[in-house]
Amino acid sequence: MSNNFRFFSPTEVIFGKDVEQETGKQLKSLGASHVLLVYGGNSARRSGLLDKIRHSLKEQDISISELNGIVPNPRLDKVYEGIRIGKADKIDFLLAIGGGSAIDTAKAIAYGLAEPELDVWELFQHKRAAKKCFPVGCVLTIAAAGSETSKGCVITNEKTCEKRAYDDNLARPVFAIMNPEYTRTLPDYQTESGCVDIMMHTMERYFTNGGNLEITDAIAEALLRTVIKNALILHDNPGNYEARAEIMWAGSLAHNDLTGCGNDGGDFMTHKLEHEMGGMFDVTHGAGLAAIWPSWARYVYRDCLPRFVRFAKNVMGIMSAGTEEEIAEAGICAMEQFYHSIGMPANMRKLGIMPTDRQILEMADRCMAASGNHRGSAKIITLDDAVEIYKNAR
Ligand code: NZQ
Ligand code: ZN
C-alpha cells in the first residue's frame, strides 16, 4: 500500500563534459551579481576548476567573494565566517564548488544570510524552522552526499562535537553543474565511500514497513544494481568516464527523494547512527555507513523481512533456496562482501575506530536526541537498541 506524497526536485542539472564553462552564464541568467564561492582544501585549485569558474563569472561581470578551507564533516565556525563575509560584501548568491561539505556549508550560510538576526545553529537544534534562504548553486566534484539535489544540510558544531542535519526544501540548490571528469582526481577511498553513501540514501528509503510503490522499488533496485556494477568498474579502472557518469547521476537521483515516493519517509537510522560516529571520530561519512549498516541490518531484518528478502533477490542476486530469514541473511552477507571488494570497512575496527562502552552510550544518547520522534521504520530503535547496534559493529 502506498502513501500520498509530494515530489519537489527543483534543481536544474547541467551534466557532462565541459559544462563548468556555463557557470557564469547560468548565474547571470538567475540575476546573480555578487557571488560567494565556497570550497574546500586544494582539489578544485589543483584540477584547474576553480580558475575556470572564476573566469566564467568574470566574463559575465559577476563579482566574487571567497570562503575556502571547508573540511569534510564541515564546521559551524566556517558557516559563521561565511555569513560575516556575505553580509560585509553584500553577496546575493552562493556557489559551492566541491561535495557535500562545501554545498552544506553554502546552504547553512544561505540560511544565515536570509535571517541575519537569528543564530543559524538553532535550525540544526530544531528550535525553529527557516522562513527564507538565499539561492545556492553548485559545481559538484564528488559523487556521494547528494546535497546537489537534496533538501539536507549537515553541519558539525566543533565545540560540542554534535553533527546535526537540517532538512528544508528552501535550500535545495537552484542548479547543479556536474562534469564527471572532475571526479577522476578523487582518492579511491572517497570514490568508494561516495558509492556507499549513494546506495545508503536509496536503502534508507527502501527498508520500510510503511508502504511502497512498485515503480519506486523498481527504480531503487535499478539504481542500487547500477552503483554496485560501476563501483566495481571504478575500483579496477578509476579513470572510466562512463562509470563516473553513471555514479554521479545515481548520486543525485538517490537523494532528491525520487526513490522515496510513496513510502512512509524512510528509515534513516543508519545515517543517524553514523552521524554520531562522524561527530565523535570525524570518520568519512560513506565509510562510516558501511561500518554500521551490517550491524543495523542484522539487528532489524526480522522486523522488515519481506523487504530484506526482496533486496536479497532483486539487488544482491541471491538465487539460493532457503527460509526467508536465510535469504535475508544471505543478502546482508553479499552486501558485506561487496563492501570488502571495493575496499570499504564492514565494521568499526576496519573503519579504524574502537569506541569504549562509555563512548557508545554517549553516541546512542545523542542519536536518540537528534532523532526526535523519527527513530526508524524497518524497526523503531530505542536507546538500548542503538547501544546494541553500535556494540555489534565493533
Ligand atoms: O577539500 P577538498 O580539497 O576539495 O577535498 C575533498 C575532501 O577532502 C575531496 N574531494 C572532493 N572532490 C574532489 C576531491 N579530491 C580530489 N578530487 C576531487 N574531484 O573529497 C573529500 C570529501 O569531500 P566532502 O565534500 O566532504 O564529500 P561528500 O560529498 O561525501 O560530503 C560529505 C558530507 O556531506 C554530508 C556528510 O555527512 C558529510 O558531512 N551529507 C550531506 C547530505 C545532504 N546535504 O543531503 C546527506 C548525506 O547523507 C550526508 O550526511
Ligand atoms: Zn549520506
Tens-place pLDDT, residues 77-112: 999 999 999 999 999 999 999 999 999 999 999 999
Q: Which of 154, 157, 281 for mutating ligand 1's site (highest number of atoms within 8 Å of CB)?
A: 154
Q: What is the CA radius of gyration of the chain?
A: 20
* 1, pLDDT greater than 90: no
The residue whose grid cell reads 531503487 is 220
41 lines ligand 1 (CB under 6 A): yes
Q: Residue 150 above 90 pLDDT?
A: yes
Cell of 385: 537498541
- The CA-based diameter of the chain, rounded to the nearest angstrom, is 66
Cell of 197: 553513501
Residue located nearest, by CA, to atom 46 of ligand 1: 145
pLDDT recorded at residue 63? 98
Q: How far is the CA of 135 from the centre of ligand 1 (A)?
A: 20
Q: Is the pLDDT of residue 26 over 90?
A: yes
Q: From ligand 2's centre to the CA of 204, what distance in Å?
A: 9
Query: Would 12-183 and 188-392 be classified into the same CATH topology?
Result: no
pLDDT above 90 (res 189): yes
**Residues in CB range of 54: below 8 A, 6 or more apart:** 37, 64
pLDDT band at 379 (very low <50, low <70, confident <90, very high): very high
CA–centroid distance, 357 to ligand 2, in Å, is 25
Summarised one tens digit per residue, pLDDT across range 351-368 is 999 999 999 999 999 999
Which of 200, 235, 203 lies closest to 217 in space, CA to CA? 203
Task: Judge whether 368 and 350 are in contact, CB under 8 Å.
Answer: no
pLDDT tens, position by position, 241-252: 999 999 999 999
Q: Is the pLDDT of residue 152 over 90?
A: yes
Percent of the chain residues past pLDDT 90, beyond the cut: 97
Distance CA 315, CA 89 (A): 50
**C-alpha of residue 1 to centroid of ligand 1, in Å:** 36
Q: Where are the chain's structural domains? A: 12-183, 188-392
What percentage of residues in the chain have a pLDDT greater than 70?
A: 100
| Of 35-39, 45-49, 161-165, 194-198, minimum mean pLDDT range | 161-165
pLDDT recorded at residue 372: 87
316: closest CA among 300, 299, 297, 303? 297
Query: Best substitution site from 37, 109, 184, 190 to test ligand 1's pocket, by max atoms within 8 Å of Cβ?
Result: 190
Q: Is 190 in the pocket of ligand 1 (CB under 6 A)?
A: yes
User: Is the C-beta atom of 266 inside 6 A of ligand 1?
Assistant: no
Phi, psi of 366 (to 5 degrees): -65, -35
Ligand 1 midpoint to CA 191 (Å): 10
CATH of domain 188-392: 1.20.1090.10
What pLDDT, in 10s, does the model give residues 119-129? 999 999 999 99
Q: Give me the pLDDT at residue 49, please.
A: 98
Residue 373 pLDDT: 85
Q: Average pLDDT of the chain?
A: 97
- pLDDT interval class at 70 (50, 70, 90): very high
Q: 10 Å Cβ neighbour count for 48?
A: 11
Q: Report the pLDDT value the prediction gives residue 35, as an integer from 0 to 100.
A: 98
Residue 325 has a pLDDT of 97
Of the pLDDT bands very low, low, confident and very high (cuts 50, 70, 90), residue 4 is: very high
Which residues neighbour ligand 2 (ion) by CB within 5 Å?
197
Average pLDDT over residues 312-318: 98
Would you identify the CATH topology of the domain 12-183? Rossmann fold (3.40.50)
CA 52 to chain centre: 26
For every residue of the chain, which 3-state class applies, written as one string?
A: CCCCCCCCCCCEEEECCCHHHHHHHHHHHCCCCEEEEEECCCHHHHCCHHHHHHHHHHCCCCEEEEECCCCCCCEHHHHHHHHHHHHHHCCCEEEEEECHHHHHHHHHHHHHHHCCCCCCHHHHCCCCCCCCCCCEEEEECCCCCCCCCCCCCEEEECCCCEEEECCCHHHCCCEEEECHHHHHHCCHHHHHHHHHHHHHHHHHHHCCCCCCCHHHHHHHHHHHHHHHHHHHHHHHCCCCHHHHHHHHHHHHHHHCCHHHCCCCCCCCHHHHHHHHHHHHHCCCHHHHHHHHHHHHHHHHHHHHHHHHHHHHHHCCCCCCCCCHHHHHHHHHHHHHHHHHHCCCCCCHHHHCCCCCHHHHHHHHHHHHHHHCCCCCCCCCCCHHHHHHHHHHCC
CB contact at 8 A, 312 and 293: no
Is 101 close to ligand 1, i.e. is its CB under 6 Å away? yes
Task: Verify whether ligand 1 is closer than 6 Å to residue 42 (CB atom).
Answer: yes
| Of residues 141, 150, 146, the one with CA closest to residue 172 | 150
